[in-house]
Chain A
Amino acid sequence: MTGWIHPGVVVFLGGLLIPFIKWRRIRLAYFLGLPLVGLTILVLTSIGIFGSVPSWPEALYKWRIPFLQYSLVLGKIDKMSMIFAYIYLIAAFCMNIYALRVKNHWEHVAAMAYAGSALGAIFAGDFFTLFFFLETMSWAPVFLLWFRGTQKSMGAGVRYALWHHFSGACILAGIVIHLNKTGSIDLVHLPWGWGGEFLGYNLMLLGFIINSATTPFHSWLSDTYSEATPSGSIYMTAFTTKTAIYCLIRTFSGVPLLMWMGAIQAVFALFLAVLENDGRRLCSYHIISQIGYMVAAVGIGTEMAINGAISHALCHIIYNALLYMGAGCVLVVVGTAKFNELGGLYKYMPISFWLYMVGGFSISGFPLFNGFISKVMTIEAAELIHNAPIYLLLEGATVGTFLHTGLKLPWNMWLQGKDEPPPTIRAKLKDSAVNTPVNMLIGMGILAFLCIFMGVYPKVLYDRLPYAVEFIPFTTTRVFSIMQMFIFTFMGFWLLRKLVQGYPTYTLDTDWPFRMAGRKVIWFCEKPLMTFAQFVDGKVMGVADFLVWFSRNPALALHIKKEEAKLKVKRFMMSPKRAEEHAQVLVEKRKSYPGELPKLTLGASLVLILLAFSLYLILYLLIK
């Protein structure tokens, strides 16, 4: 059998059918089943039903569609796309469980369209297909934002769309320039450098950098993810940025610029996270920081680094979804995720706390959790190229990550040294240990299990990476150094824990200049531009009004105008009384205008028509 079914298309189109299923239970079962169908297809592909998947970097090509003089490849199946697709679908399944109780089923549609188009981008074998799926992927989250229905989320949705359409335009421009130069649309590794001949590639790189939320273009992520619906934001954490990392690995691995951008980003985001008061925004800064590791690894570009980038992206999807779910379930249960309003929740939501902590330990890179097995690969890659600044930045980011997600967030949300939450929050909680809806706990539970399973048995991931891995993460040196670092990070946190508690504030980000410039543009449009437009409008309308008035009875109009002009001149020569009389007569005439229209005889009409024709003739001859 050589045919193949595209799991992305199944999930995407299947998602669009959700609202047509009337019965709630069947609809939810169908919603849960969609990623499972995708997973089944993947398993069948893995075991070679559709032809065996060759070893890296060879690929299996399916679903070739002719388009203009090109051939679109919707299914480029190789080791890298397979492992990404597996994790996307597993994560989507857990997220679907988490989002099961959402009342608005259009949110489910948007989520499945999102996951489906992400899979489409992963399997794309040419730039056109990739661009198409990146574009559809940039629309689904806008709806996940708008469905929250608050004023802030509406604005965030528009900003999300603006950022992603700008990046989409950059990518398209890059693709067109590349196509013009090489005549091929195949998805291949691209050259990079400074200078005019690399303009297209730099534009494409800029597009991917914006999509992957690399500093200084990271602000859209923290701005929008924290405004989406509690379950919608879970989907957003997984797909967009990781797909951008996937694109970077495919096209721009080994660009030294990326190495520095990534390493700086990994630390920079942490400074902003210190000041953050909203739990979900704090997790957003950690996505940005973790993406820093991946971007840096892509920039290093050695086999070990690429393996590190891929495995970190995949582990990140799992543990970050778990972190967002932890913060999201607090938001769902008590209606806020702001640190200054929380604390002392432990007694009421202990299971969520511990499941969250699994995510927290994973993202920090504790041994035996999945963040460790992927993070040490990236750090090792930096060590192997003997680049001490990159190593120190990445290691420093590890400290900061543990400080925030492992200590600051759980401390501020669940503990703060209090036994009871503040009274307003307490009123929303039942007196039980399970306040979180069970489906959310199940979704989190599966992800937490995966975090630990992958951490304890890294072979399950390593065997599926594109390059062969001979890497043992658990060496005495690594385990010891990272544990000692964490123990002392905790000491630093405990000493300064009063400084990192939440205050009801908002931290400005790198989008400040854009938003301020945007405000100025809107001000310019509303004030000076509108005034000018009104002025022009008034003048044009005045002329138009006059022409309309004039054409009602041109003969009388001409007469009135002539009389008016005459009066103006004569006024100085006649007595004021007479002038007044004249003016009175004119006013009377204007009032009775257009009055009785002059009746022309047939001959006079013909003369007028001939006159008009001869005018045309003169005009024609003049122009000739």
Chain B
Amino acid sequence: MKILRTYPKRLLWTIYFVGLAVSLILDFVWLRLNALHYHFPFQYFPQFFAIFGVFGCILLILIAKGMGYFIVKDEDYYEKKSRK
């Protein structure tokens, strides 16, 4: 029961960093060995999916936050409008 209730923080971080290192090395090695088969030329760019992942994520959040400037309102936006 106690194991269930403690979050395996350290373990997950270890797995994460090992995975990160392995993925960087594998991409480097496999691209050299021509072991990866993609459909578009840009996918062969070194570490393409790493760049796509991190920048896609950051761009998504930042653009959304920019949109939020216009479309984020109070929680009772429509209720307030109808009370007027």
Contacts and interface: CB of A to CB of B under 8 A. Distances in A.
A180 interface: no
B53 A383 contact: no
Contacts of A275: 64-65, 67-68, 71-72
A483 B40 contact: no
A15 B35 CA distance: 55
Binding site of B, secondary structure by majority: helix, strand, loop or mixed? helix
A273 B64 CA distance: 9
A580 B34 CA distance: 116
Contact of B73 (A346, A384, A495, A508): A508
Contacts, number: 153
B61 to A, nearest CB: 5
A480 B49 CA distance: 9
A489 B43 CA distance: 17
Contacts of A508: 71-73, 77
Interface residues of A, number: 53
Interface string A229-270: 000000000000000000000000000000000000000001
A594 interface: no
Contacts of A492: 53-58, 61
B56 A489 contact: yes
Nearest to A354: B4
A396 B56 contact: yes
A570 interface: no
A505 B77 CA distance: 9
B83 to A, nearest CB: 12
A476 B35 contact: yes
Binding site of A, secondary structure by majority: helix, strand, loop or mixed? helix
B20 A504 contact: no
B53 A399 contact: yes
B60 A270 contact: yes
B31 to A, nearest CB: 11
Contacts of B68: 274-275, 507
Which of the four size classes fits the interface of chain B?
35 or more
A275 B70 CA distance: 11
Contacts of A388: 40, 42
B76 A506 contact: yes
Contact of B50 (A391, A475, A484): A484
Contacts of B71: 275, 507-509
A477 interface: yes
Given A487-B23, A492-B55, A274 B60 contact: yes
Given A272-B64, A350-B4, A488 B75 contact: no
B48 to A, nearest CB: 8
A486 interface: yes
Contact of B23 (A270, A403, A484): A484
Interface string A399-425: 110010000000000010000000000
Contacts of B23: 480, 483-484, 487
B26 A486 contact: no
A492 B51 CA distance: 10
B70 to A, nearest CB: 8
A490 B51 CA distance: 12
Nearest to B70: A508
A137 B48 CA distance: 45
Interface of B: 1, 4-7, 16, 19-20, 23, 26-27, 30, 35-40, 42-43, 47-58, 60-65, 67-68, 71-79, 81-82
Interface of A: 151, 270-275, 346-347, 350-351, 383-384, 386, 388, 391, 395-396, 399-400, 403, 415, 433, 475-477, 480-493, 495-496, 499-500, 503-509, 515, 519
Given A492-B61, A503-B72, 15 more contacts: A271-B60, A273-B64, A275-B72, A384-B39, A391-B40, A415-B7, A476-B35, A477-B37, A487-B19, A496-B62, A499-B61, A504-B75, A506-B73, A506-B77, A507-B72
5 contacts: A386-B39, A477-B36, A480-B26, A499-B65, A507-B68
